[in-house]
A and B are shown apart, each in its own frame.
Chain A
Amino acid sequence: MTRFSIDIWGEMCPIPLIKAKQKLSSMQCGDILVLETEHSCTSRGIVVWAKANRYIIEEKEVANGIWHLELTKTHD
């Protein structure tokens, strides 16, 4: 179980999601991808996408308008 992170700070949808998908495909099952964004729609979009794809996703608003996401790759 390895933790990865990608820098999506300041990027607008759908770029963060595309980057997350690319990173995820290079990861092993059980690995965690950590993302941090200051756009509510980016956070929302990734959460909705992760749930639709049956990945484990944890969303936390760590400060006003900043979201910390942890996405666990549960399957290939």
Chain B
Amino acid sequence: MKKTLQTIIHGPWAYWIGAIILGLLNILVLIVRRQPWGVTWNIEIWAEWIGTNLGVLSDRGFTFEGLMAASGTYLNLGLLLGAFWATLVASQVRFRPIRDKKFFFSALIGGLLMGYGARIAYGCNVGALLNGIASSSLTGWIFAFAVFLGTWLGSKLLLKYLM
């Protein structure tokens, strides 16, 4: 019993338990929000708002009040805070220094490519792949194919440059 409680708080949870919980929460988001869960659209409108205020983008009418009223803002904040909270409860929080400069640059380039890719595809792993396939959208399947292709290429590059 004590061991079970220890596993619940401290982890690691089995992958299938995580998958079921994620699936149920995803259904809940769809019911409450009447719109599937997505991550990057909200990040894009925040970026557009910042860009507009810096004067580098033309105004498409995003206001701070509008952003603070957007459900995506809270889903993303919840994602970050939830992950942080779980790590904190498991007492695994630790500042992790960057081991090598090449990991810094690979992460930066990877992040930029992922962000750009997610926006030209109108969604990320969550919005386009998970919920795309769940709603029988062809986009999801094309996205899945591209993910496999990209991952294959990424592993080749990783073995060549990052090992």
Q: Which residues from chain A sit less than 8 Å from chain B, CB to CB?
A: 9-12, 14-15, 18-19, 38-40, 44, 64-66
Contacts and interface: CB of A to CB of B under 8 A. Distances in A.
A9 B99 contact: yes
A18 B158 CA distance: 11
A44 B162 contact: no
Contacts of B2: none
B11 A40 contact: yes
A12 B102 CA distance: 12
Contact of A40 (B12, B159, B162): B12
Interface string B131-162: 00000000000000000000000010011001
B3 interface: no
Interface of B: 11-12, 90-94, 96-100, 103, 155, 158-159, 162-163
Contacts of A14: 155, 158
Contact of A15 (B12, B97, B98, B162): B162
A64 B162 contact: no
Contacts of A12: 103
Given A15-B162, A40-B11, A64 B92 contact: yes
B97 A10 contact: yes
